[in-house]
Chain A
Amino acid sequence: MKHDSFDVIVIGGGHAGTEAASASARMGARTALVTLRRDDLGVMSCNPAIGGLGKGHIVREVDAFDGVMGRAADAAGIQFRLLNRKKGPAVRGPRAQCDRALYRSAVARLVESIPGLSVIEGEVVDLMEDAGRIVGVRLADGSSMPARAVVLTSGTFLRGVIHIGEVSYGGGRMGANAVNHLADRVRSMGLTMGRLKTGTPPRLDGRTIDWSSLEKQPGDDDPSFFSSLTSELAAEQVSCGIAHTNPRTHEIIASNLGRSAMYAGRIEGTGPRYCPSIEDKVTRFAGKESHQVFLEPEGLDTPTVYPNGISTSLPEEVQYQYVRSMRGLEDVDILRPGYAIEYDYVDPRALRRTLELRDQPGLFLAGQINGTTGYEEAAGQGLVAGLNAAASALDRDAVRFDRKSSYIGVMIDDLTTSGVTEPYRMFTSRAEYRLSLRADNADQRLTPMGEALGVVSDTRRTLFHQRMEAVAGVQRELSQISLSARSLADVGLRIAPQGKPRTALDALSLPGGTVDALISLVPELGQMDAKALEQVANDALYAHYLRRQERDVSRLAQDEALRIPDDLDFAAIDGLSNELRAKLEATRPETIGQAGRIDGMTPAALTLILAWMRRREKLSA
């Protein structure tokens, strides 16, 4: 069978794959998404929620480029909560509980509506190579698909092994086959590979839960959406339940530890510390008598409930015992047992910051294959890989994300600089510039970049410019209102009443300078565009801190501008310690800035690298 010729082929239809294919097609590349089953586009194989702290930020960033995830989550959201609502705007993260079926259909709808994007069912068994460059894929049916760039987003499917208690078998997720041919191909590339694991809890039958005896957690009254294109709820809203483990639960688990796949030593992969199995929790925090379990409905039309907090690799009958030891779950039925899954990942230090493999041009990797976890992290990488695969195929400039302007940039830099030792998940504390990387200004930070690339729709462009004008307008107006220090002190600002008068804009930077306080002084402010006003207030709140960071930011920019040539031979540099040389060779930093972030790097070693760069220039000049 002969296929049309494509610029970019994306392997895999999960969160990384759909985002990559969509971004590539929006760049104008003829793109094919190859997936085992068309129905699996956008499947949420773990918990039915999108967003959270750091993660919600990434979703907003993907949305700023007109990505898929934000709009799909808004369409499928059955409970919206803005986490850290009471804390500062920089650390507020939007999160939504999603209906799995609605989410999947929203992703399919969005992906299929993109011109120039074809979804093809098939199993990729091999990659085509020509003169060292990946130039297409071969399918299980013997057909081949040439392309100028390939994005591989194989998730946990590379040599995936599922463990339930004493039983284990190969598989990508429950009910799907692991992709072993492709795994062999990737293994043969000579990349450094590792093994990670992740776990899931048993899925419960909501019809057998005694909801009346459980605490309920409703969503926010005023939902915070992911996409700036969304203005209203699309689905019915539900509450989650909260159950608790108890000493009896812990006893059951402790006495069966030997039967847990993980504890019996049958799993070699490293699991995430922030998502421990219930076995781990009971063992490591033995003093804690109870752990929360969030009962998250998987959808409106399904009885399946995801009990977040009790992932496990214990045998099924033990899962029954410990689940039923909890109040409200005495008679619960398990629809599908919890399991642990182990899979291969590629040491992401083998990647450029475009997510292209350094030693295998034309092949881009995104998602769990790079050692990350989470739908949002996958989507963010999908965006980066998709944009860059298209850029490479169309001979356009590479698209780079940096630490100072996005969480996506932080993630890419962390992965390619430091590699991973456990499944990598985003946290706001990973971003040193988190005060300026807020969920509320993701579009302001990134949509102009998306516009320049030509990947945002007219609708978004128009809305974005309207919003920016509104923000500028609010700023202008606030800077023209002068308020006496006394009146400001009277409404709760912590300033000396004898001080000089301030503009309303400056007042927002003062301690206690909230929008509400100002509205109580100048009621007309209440008539302003509330979203724009909020954003101006958020900027003002951090203004002092951001000014203090300016020097760091400019130093970073200078260091990032010093590009290390691809073929610089670190081994040849005299005076580097062996340890640093090994790290430099593993990471192969692209800039002096990135080199500086390698663990253990010294200023002198950086200078040495710089000296070596100059020497080469002079010798070749």
Chain B
Amino acid sequence: MRDTIFARSTPPGRSGVAIVRLSGPASWDAIHRLTGRTLPPARYMARRNIRYDGELIDQSVVVLFEEGRSFTGEQGAEIQLHGSEAVVRATLAALAQLGGLRPASAGDFTRRALENNRMTLSEVEGLSALLEAETDAQRRLAVGVAGGGLRIMVDRWRQSLVHLLASIEVSVDFADEEVPQAVDAALIGTLRETAANARIEADGVRDAGKIARGFEVAIVGAPNVGKSTLLNRLAGRDAALTSDIAGTTRDIVEVRMEIAGQLVTLLDTAGIREAADTVERLGVDRARTRAEAADLRVFLGQVPVGVEVQCGDLAVRAKADLLSTAEGLAVSGTTGQGISDLLEAIGQELSGRVAQASLAITSRQSAALSAAAEALDRAADMLETDVDSPELAAEDIRSAIQALDVLVGRISPEEVLGEIFAQFCIGK
């Protein structure tokens, strides 16, 4: 049976509406699982909330298409989202996590439409240019990711895996010759290490929860420094109760918003001080814990006692409208002064972290890396428990290499044979 693919079909970047398209036999089931509600009739638009892990990602419109009545000719679906980068990415990550679906490769949808004969002559004739563009985009993606860093790394892993596969295959295909038969600990170590590295890269993106939740940014400061006013200003609405009375915010107020394409939960915490009031003290304790656990802290005014400043945290001077000098970041929740600078600073910091967290940028790449990691671990398990089944370990290593091929290109059996003949003296 054909697998089910998905991809964003509108251009990346901010837009009014973004469309994610699914094609394949599991499309409807995926919509059902994302929305948790009954499916609308085919070809009727319906409003549905897209959730992942209980978390609301977006209020969307979904449309289902029956087999034979979709663009590709297969069962299909479309999810129309709000055109925010964060929402689209969260939705794609959630789809990848469902299992049984895979992110589409360049040209996959077109390919299916062609196979099922769903395109008119003029559409077919217009394809050349389109495909050239797709190939080009794919190439840029492959080489351009973080300056080709991922590609270089994956290439290295792949080289070492081909080398390793050769040393296993030589014991299989040249059993009657003087070749090393033993599988050593170093070989298994390399498998484990490569698996772990691939997993780290994959997880950077694949952690759908992370993308769905986004980053937590805590506003921290002494009481009555203007944290809640800042939050309301950042959020563009009155989310937190503000007053002149210090200690007004006792629980944590959360506001979800998007900053520079990243989904962010802003936390307004209780002002940190030695509180007399039991209720306020509880609030202060929680504020400290949450603030420390957050991905980023924005310190408003003095850094209060008991909260550690972590790398990348931002210090902002408060009540800028009342300050005479303007150096560093200074904001005023009341007048809005400095707000856009602060947003930019937060955005920069978070984007930097996304880039650092993983070099893998697409869900397709990340899916490939996870598959490779899984296969390599299986191979290592097999070699540890059963030395007489090199063909099984080889199978898994081969499928890991194939998965990595998605990122850097293809391997042929000739490559493994070449490695064998270079490494070992073969031939009776």
Least Cβ distance of A214 to chain B in Å?
Answer: 16
Bound state CA distance, A409 and B399, in angstroms?
A: 21
**Residues from chain A with Cβ under 8 Å of B426 in the complex:** 273-274, 276
As a 0/1 sequence over residues 269 to 281 of chain A, the CB contacts with chain B under 8 angstroms (1 = contact) are 0001111100011
Whether, in the assembled complex, B10 has its beta carbon less than 8 Å from a beta carbon of chain A, the answer is no
A582 to B110, CA, bound (A): 24
Q: Is A169 an interface residue (CB 8 A)?
A: no
Give Cα distance in the complex from A2 to B428, angstroms: 47
* A84 touching B172, Cβ below 8 Å: yes
Which residues of B (380-425) have their CB < 8 Å from a CB of A? 385-386, 388-392, 394-395, 398-399, 410, 412-414, 416-418, 421, 425
A432 cross-chain contacts in B, Cβ below 8 A: 398, 413
Choice from B125, B391, B416 contacting A91 with Cβ under 8 Å: B391
State whether A575 and B125 are in contact (beta carbons under 8 Å apart), knowing that A84-B175, A91-B391 are contacts in the complex.
no
Q: Which one of A53, A284, A574 lies within 8 Å of B175 (CB-CB)?
A: A53
Given A428-B173, A614-B114, do A87 and B388 touch, yes or no (CB 8 Å)? yes
| B175 contacts A604, C-beta separation under 8 Å | no
Give Cα distance in the complex from A551 to B392, angstroms: 18
- How many angstroms between the C-alpha atoms of A476 and B122 in the bound complex? 56
Checking A292, A435, A575, A611 against B391 with a beta-carbon cut-off of 8 angstroms, the contacting residue is A435
Please measure, in the bound complex, the distance between the C-alpha atom of A343 and the C-alpha atom of B230, giving whole angstroms.
85
The residue on A at minimum CB distance from B375 is A548
Stretch at the interface among B55-63, B131-139, B282-290: B131-139
Given A291-B425, A611-B127: A604 and B134 within 8 A (CB)? Answer: yes
A272 to B426, CA, bound (A): 10
What's the least CB distance linking A428 to chain B, in Å? 6
**Are A562 and B115 in contact, with the CB atoms below 8 A?**
yes
CB-based contact A288/B425 at 8 Å? yes
A494 surroundings in chain B (CB, below 8 A): 385
Contact of B106 among A280, A434, A599, A604 (CB under 8 A): A604
Assembly CA distance A545 to B392 (angstroms) = 8
Asked whether A602 lies within 8 Å of B417 as measured between CB atoms, the reply is no
- Complex: how many Å from CA A173 to CA B120? 59
Q: In the assembled complex, which residues on chain A have CB atoms less than 8 Å from the CB atom of B412?
A: 418, 599
Interface residue? A213 (CB, 8 A): no
Q: In the complex, how many angstroms separate the beta carbon of B301 from the nearest chain A beta carbon?
A: 56
Contacts of B392 in A (CB 8 A): 88, 435, 542, 545
Q: Tell me whether A608 and B413 are in contact (CB under 8 A).
A: no
Let me know if A273 and B388 touch, CB within 8 A.
Answer: no
CA distance A161 to B398 in the complex (A): 40
CB–CB A511/B425 < 8 A: no
| A52 contacts B425, C-beta separation under 8 Å | no
Question: Assuming the A-B contacts A87-B175, A91-B172, A554-B1, are A308 and B389 also in contact, with contact meaning beta carbons closer than 8 angstroms in the complex?
Answer: no
Chain A residues with CB below 8 A from B42, complex form: none
**A278, closest chain B residue (CB):** B427
Tell me, yes or no, whether B129 is within 8 Å of chain A by CB.
yes
Number of A-B contacts (CB under 8 A): 158
Those of B110-161 within 8 Å (CB) of chain A: 110-111, 114-115, 117, 119-121, 124-125, 127-129, 131-132, 134-135, 138
* Chain B residue at minimum C-beta to C-beta distance from A294: B428
List CB contacts (< 8 Å) of A471-500 with chain B.
494
A459 within 8 A of B: no
Partner of A607, one of B2, B127, B394: B127
> Is A147 at the interface (CB under 8 A from chain B)?
no
Question: How many Å lie between the Cα of A573 and that of B392 in the bound state?
Answer: 42
- B344 interface contact, C-beta 8 A: no
Q: A427-B173, A554-B1 are in contact. Are A88 and B398 (CB under 8 A)?
A: no
Whether, in the assembled complex, A429 has its beta carbon less than 8 Å from a beta carbon of chain B, the answer is yes
Interface band, chain A: 35 or more
A607-B110 contact given A53-B173, A288-B425, CB 8 Å threshold: yes
Set of chain A residues within 8 Å of B428, measured between Cβ atoms: 47, 275, 292-294, 308-309
Asked if A615 contacts B427 (CB within 8 A), the reply is no
Q: Given B106, B175, B388, B416, which contacts A83 in the complex, CB threshold below 8 Å?
A: B175
Q: How many angstroms between the C-alpha atoms of A86 and B386 in the bound complex?
A: 11
Partner of B129 from the list A435, A562, A575 (CB cut-off 8 Å) is: A575
**B254 surroundings in chain A (CB, below 8 A):** none
Instruction: Decide yes or no whether B177 CB sits under 8 A from chain A.
Output: yes
- Report A510 CB to chain B, min CB distance, Å: 12
Among B114, B121, B135, B389, the residue within 8 A (CB) of A602 is B135
B78 CB within 8 Å of chain A: no
Task: State whether A610 touches B395 (Cβ < 8 A).
Answer: no
B385's nearest neighbour on chain A, judged by CB, is A511
Which residue on chain A has the smallest CB distance to residue B412? A599
Q: Which residues of A contact B425 (CB under 8 A)?
A: 276, 281, 284-285, 288, 291
B176 within 8 A of A: yes
Taking CB as reference atom, which chain A residue is nearest B110?
Answer: A607
Interface residues as binary, A394-430 with B (CB distance below 8 Å gives 1, 0 otherwise): 0000000000000000000000001000000001111
Q: Is the CB of A610 within 8 A of B173?
A: no
Q: For A548, give the chain B residue with the smallest CB separation.
A: B399
Assess whether A113 is interfacial by the CB under 8 Å rule: no
Q: B136's closest neighbor in chain A, by CB?
A: A604
Among candidates A81, A309, A430, A548, residue contacting B413 with C-beta atoms closer than 8 Å: A430
Q: Does A254 contact B (CB under 8 A)?
A: no
Contact pick for A611, options B108, B114, B177, B389, CB 8 Å:
B114
Distance A284 CA – B426 CA, assembled complex (angstroms) = 11
Q: Say whether B176 contacts A610, CB under 8 Å.
A: no
B178 sits at the interface (CB 8 A) = yes
Question: With A291-B425, A602-B135 known to touch, is A429 a contact of B413 (CB < 8 Å)?
Answer: yes
Q: Does A606 contact B (CB under 8 A)?
A: yes
**A452 within 8 Å of B by Cβ?**
no
**B111 and A610 contact, CB distance less than 8 A:** yes
Within the complex, the shortest CB–CB distance from A179 to chain B, in Å, comes to 28
Measured between C-beta atoms, what is the minimum distance from B169 to chain A in Å?
5
Are B131's CB and A551's CB within 8 A?
A: no
Q: 0/1 per residue, A528-549, Cβ < 8 Å to B?
A: 0000000000000010010010
Q: Select A87's contact among B117, B390, B395, beta carbons within 8 Å.
A: B390
Interface centre among A494, A562, A610 (most CB of B within 10 A): A610
Smallest beta-carbon distance B137→chain A, Å:
10
Can you list 12 A-B contacts with CB-CB less than 8 angstroms, sorted by A residue number? A53-B176, A84-B172, A91-B390, A273-B418, A309-B427, A432-B398, A575-B129, A608-B128, A610-B114, A610-B115, A615-B125, A618-B124
Q: A573-B128, A611-B128 are in contact. List 5 more A-B contacts (CB 8 A).
A: A88-B392, A274-B426, A427-B169, A432-B398, A602-B138
A residues adjacent to B (C-beta < 8 A): 47, 52-54, 81, 83-84, 86-88, 90-91, 95, 272-276, 280-281, 284-285, 288, 291-294, 308-309, 418, 427-430, 432, 434-435, 494, 511, 542, 545, 548, 551, 554-555, 558, 562, 573-575, 599-600, 602-608, 610-611, 614-615, 618-619
